[in-house]
Structure 1
């Protein structure tokens, strides 16, 4: 039986393209981005403090980095967030000018896995890249819009998403940094929208936001659908787990692509939501930075 989980609004931030939520445990705060709004947001659930930083560009994700720092991907580069501004770049991604960074994660060894995509959402020029603080290189997953990736707690498995292909892949990366050893994990029916960002919890279950699908889903390791979070807006982008016990799921959403009439019917679109998770999440490792 599929469980139904109720979400609650925690910040009506009205993001154009809310994405990249990340719980930063050392701050006890959730950070996320508005890609098309050029903003980075910080939410402190203990105090309900809300901060927004105009950073420009197209910030697409944020992850913790060593030395108490935060790293943000934007357009074709990786930057540090310092005093509410992007500094750097730490590294640049070699890709077509019409591409940009999208989602990302950090593996247990501190490597950054970042997806790229065609900003016009047409050309087959997106891919997954890995940055190990020395080299930044593509490792597969070619598609128009990459999403995820998410990596298992032992670092041996990666899940990545071909959004327009409505497919989530699972690959064995235990022996090599490549997406060659892969299989289809789940496909999303056309009526249910497109799979967006993915996250793994402590039970190895995968959570995915559905763009145009009005929901977030939780899948078991064998691909069985376990739970649905029915959302009050269509474009659900990604889940991150936070709070002192990592039992609060946070969901970013988007207003992008919605007509005035559609926005009238879903006025909370672009908001940040939360729900009580059936299992804790996994803390995001810190990314290694160049020496």
Structure 2
């Protein structure tokens, strides 16, 4: 499936690179550095990187159907204006849980935003999954965990994948037309020696890509949960894949320096950088968040 080994396309040195999202409109890749509170935009046509300082830790950044951008900060959901570098609060999330932050997110085929929270100290099972449906925020029927990752959706939108990172477990749910969940089952488990499952992404064949934090790479699973591929990286902490390029056959991948010792950082000089590799099966274009009109 892979066409070429992962290679650095942008030297970022992110402490916790996350949330890559390909913008079809401007042919650029958005991503964040959570721990350095930065939003990044990478232009593969020019190799240029633009960066903005966020007022709090950003977990992700995604397109909205009115042409704007939305990002999840510690303080809630914000509109982000790259021209002015401003972050305007839309909805507070968990103001009563000050140790939580927002982590990972995606948009389903109906334009609903799904995102998770987590304990920033990575100790308490206070992480929840939420659904924003045209301005209405609701908690998804998923048991709380310490670190949420995902969700991700099958191409037909009928299956939701949710990652419980510390339990090294990937869950699957059936999705009803109204966004309610049922039919919970375990999709896959990651062995302790293989790292922690991080951000999930689905390609056009319905296969699930899972980045492995501390696992030196990315796995690709069939819709039935069969491990199909492992792509090894030269850095330990791989966080998430996003498919980009005009044909969606370039897998852009964020990584992290977080948790690495000084010795490990010497051995992994590209930890925290943005990588890419080619794939034969394209990904899926990110649906924009529908805010209703």
In the alignment, which residue of structure 2 is the partner of 1:151? 153
Q: Distance in 2 between matches of 1:27 and 1:256?
A: 30
Q: Partner residue of 1:243?
A: 245
Task: State the Cα deviation string for residues 224-272 of structure 1 (Å, max 9, x = none).
Answer: 1111111011100000000000000011000011111110110100000
| Unaligned stretches of 5+ residues in structure 2 | none
> Paired residue for 1:81?
80
Equivalent of 2:197 in 171, 195, 198: 195
- Equivalents in 1 of 2:117, 2:198: separation in Å? 13
Q: Residue in 2 aligned with 1:45?
A: 44
Contact map agreement 1:141 1:179 (CA 8 A) in 2 = no
With the length of structure 1 as denominator, give the TM-score of the two structures: 0.96
1:116 is matched with which residue?
A: 117
Question: Over residues 74-101 of structure 1, what are the superposed CA-to-partner deviations in whole Å (9 max), with x where a residue is unaligned?
Answer: 1031111102524221111135111110
Query: Are 1:69 and 2:71 counterparts?
Result: no
**For residues 164 and 93 of structure 2, what CA distance do their matches in structure 1 show?**
20
* Counterpart mapping for 1:21-60 below 5 A: 21-60=20-59
Change in Cα spacing, 1:171 to 1:134, as seen in structure 2 (3 Å) is: same
Which is worse superposed, 149-158 or 11-20?
149-158
1:93-122: per-residue Cα shift (whole Å, max 9, x none)?
A: 135111110000001111100011000001
Give the stretch that moved more between structures: 88-97 or 33-42.
88-97
Secondary structure class of the residue paired with 2:144:
strand
Residue number in structure 2 paired with 1:164: 166
Alignment of 1:266-281 (within 5 A): 266-281=268-283
Paired with 1:33 and 1:84, the residues of 2 have a C-alpha distance of 18
CA drift of 1:175 comes to 4.6
Distance 1:15 1:159 in 2: 26
SS in 1 for 2:193: helix
Aligned equivalents of 1:183, 1:126: Cα separation in 2: 19
SS state at 1:6 partner: strand
Q: Which of 263, 270, 277 pairs up with 1:261?
A: 263
Separation in 1 of the partners of 2:16 and 2:271? 10
> Counterpart in 1 of 2:129?
128
TM-score (norm 2): 0.95
Are residues 249 and 33 of structure 1, via their aligned partners in 2, closer, same or farther at CA, if it must alter by over 3 Å?
Answer: same
Q: 1:86 to 1:145 in 2, by over 3 A?
A: farther
Match of residue 103 from structure 1: 104
Over aligned residue pairs, what C-alpha RMSD do you find? 1.5
What CA distance in whole angstroms lies between the structure 2 residues aligned with 1:4 and 1:132?
38
1:178, distance to aligned residue in structure 2 (A):
3.5
1:22, CA displacement in angstroms? 0.1
CA change 1:48–1:84 in 2 (3 A) is farther
